[in-house]
Amino acid sequence: MRYELYYWPQIQGRGEYVRLALEEAGASYLDVARRRGGDETLIALMESRRVRHPPFAPPFLKAGRLMIAQTANILQYLGPRHGLAPKNQPGALWVHQLQLTIADLVEEVHQTHHPIASALYYEDQRKEAKRYSREFWKRRPQKYLGYFERVIDRAGGAWLTGRRLSYADLSLFQVVEGLRYAFPNAMRRLESTIPHVIAVRDAVAARPRIAAYLASPRRIAFNEDGIFRRYNELDS
Amino acid sequence: MRYELYYWPQIQGRGEYVRLALEEAGASYLDVARRRGGDETLIALMESRRVRHPPFAPPFLKAGRLMIAQTANILQYLGPRHGLAPKNQPGALWVHQLQLTIADLVEEVHQTHHPIASALYYEDQRKEAKRYSREFWKRRPQKYLGYFERVIDRAGGAWLTGRRLSYADLSLFQVVEGLRYAFPNAMRRLESTIPHVIAVRDAVAARPRIAAYLASPRRIAFNEDGIFRRYNELDS
């Protein structure tokens, strides 16, 4: 089966967590909106009255007759199918729980540049963004990444869940990469306190399929339309 | 099996989505932190090094030897066990997708009074809260509840997924109640545009077990420490 991924073509965004899982799995997939006219296909499908389970927003994945939205939900569908999550329920729930916690962090990162409204430009909420970012870096990355640090430590293996890679590890890699891009100064200071998290990041980057993906044109570069944006004035 | 729910005892918060599911199911559960010394039990359990799958934050649920965190994750565990979600995968994924979208809305509502930092008092971010709330009510509840309105319409039944109640309906009830409490003026204007959503709210309120729960001391009243807070200055 060839999956169809629907996500905005200009950014990594939330679609990237799905792309990383599909790439690590070596799954066959079409990144629909990145093809000619693909963003119109995406919008038409979102608005179609014939879709039984319409998504609220991208990303969404077509898998045969299934259409699944919400990043973490897509990942929990893909995970056990491609060896990226346990098939047993306790294990699957745990990986999903970690993913939802990563999603919470990602949402907070988005607010560093859009604390007032997604619909407004960054320039129209700069003042609030500066205040939000200052507060954010007092405690939030420390709290989230410190939590994942403890999780890895307790799991007693190389990954969040121990001896086997899961889609949550791929997502943790993406968050570290994103924070490094958006907040190089603040992140540099934090990294020495989270060696296990950085080790997961390094181990993901070294996976052959991930390394090939990152070096390919399929990987969109970080940019200032995505979730992780580099605005020097927000980086302490 | 008697479940143990762990959540802050003073507020409905995110624990309320779990409480509603447990109540509708007629499940036996202990609301641990609301018992004498219970909040210390909650914190001790969160910080215990012996917990194999530590939660990042409440709510979390103990179900036998399982300990599950993240509201939507707890609900997807409970759902099929108690007739509150389909057992088949496409149906389960769809209900979970709806729940995750409700969770996104709830997060945005929380930011109406805490747009800068959860760790700061409302009074220290009032100005930003006013601006956030003004932008929020230009489009966000309309977009989210309008989406659920279409979902119910398309499902062709009384509920979000059609003919059977799911935990997502219970959560939608809670969101409508919360918005009515926090933003009575703005919500009054919106309600005429979302008749199906209001019908779901009414049908949930009329469920015998839910009605009994709402009338009981187990239901914590809305208050200004929770997610849905009434600050007149934020209600347009």
Mean of all residue pLDDT scores within chain A: 97
Is B66 an interface residue toward A (CB < 8 Å)?
yes
Q: Do domains A3-81 and A89-207 have the same CATH topology?
A: no
Give me the CATH topology for the region A89-207: Glutathione S-transferase Yfyf (Class Pi); Chain A, domain 2 (1.20.1050)
Q: Are B91 and B103 in contact (CB under 8 A)?
A: no
Looking at CA atoms only, how far is residue B152 from chain A in angstroms? 11
**Closest Cβ–Cβ partner in A68, A89, A128 for B128:** A128
Average pLDDT over residues A194-219: 98
Closest residue in B to A124 (Cα) is: B131
User: Residue A222 — very low, low, confident or very high, per pLDDT cuts 50/70/90?
Assistant: very high
Closest residue in B to A66 (Cα) is: B90
A150 neighbourhood in chain B, CB within 8 Å? 54
B70 neighbourhood in chain A, CB within 8 Å? 96-97, 100-101
Closest residue in B to A115 (Cα) is: B115
The segments of chain B whose pLDDT lies below 50 read: none
Q: Which residues are within 8 A (CB) of B87 and not within 5 positions of it... i.e. 6 or more apart?
A: B80
**Tens-digit pLDDT profile for residues A31-73:** 999 999 999 999 999 999 999 999 999 999 999 999 999 999 9
Give me the CATH topology for the region A3-81: Glutaredoxin (3.40.30)
Q: Which helix (H) or strand (E) segment is B190 a member of?
A: helix B184-191
Is A54 an interface residue toward B (CB < 8 Å)?
yes
CB pairs below 8 Å between A and B: how many?
A: 97
B94 neighbourhood in chain A, CB within 8 Å? 53
B119 neighbourhood in chain A, CB within 8 Å? 135, 138-139
**Tens-digit pLDDT profile for residues A130-150:** 999 999 999 999 999 999 999
Is domain B89-221+228-234 given the CATH code 1.20.1050.10 in the classification? yes
Closest to B23 (Cα-Cα) out of B225, B235, B218, B197: B218
Which residue of A93, A104, A125 is the best one to mutate when testing the B interface, meaning the one whose CB has the most B CBs within 10 A?
A93
Closest residue in A to B57 (Cα) is: A101
Task: Tell me what pLDDT residue A116 has.
Answer: 98
Indicate the domain borders of chain A: 3-81, 89-207
Is A213 an interface residue toward B (CB < 8 Å)?
no
Is A120 an interface residue toward B (CB < 8 Å)?
yes
Give the separation between CA A56 and CA A67, rounded to whole angstroms: 12
Q: Which helix (H) or strand (E) segment is B5 a member of?
A: strand B3-6
* Interchain CB distance below 8 Å, B128 and A116: yes
**Tens-digit pLDDT profile for residues A74-99:** 999 999 999 999 999 999 999 999 99
Please provide the DSSP assignment of B163-176 as one string. Answer: SS--HHHHHHHHHH
* Interchain CB distance below 8 Å, B97 and A55: yes
Is A142 an interface residue toward B (CB < 8 Å)?
no
Task: Tell me what pLDDT residue B236 has.
Answer: 80
Task: Tell me what pLDDT residue B1 has.
Answer: 86
Q: Which residues are within 8 A (CB) of B197 and not within 5 positions of it... i.e. 6 or more apart?
A: B145, B148, B149, B152, B172, B176
Distances (CA, A) of A182 to A122, A125, A226, B15, B218: 14, 17, 10, 33, 45
Q: Which residues are within 8 A (CB) of A102 and not within 5 positions of it... i.e. 6 or more apart?
A: A168, A171, A172, A175
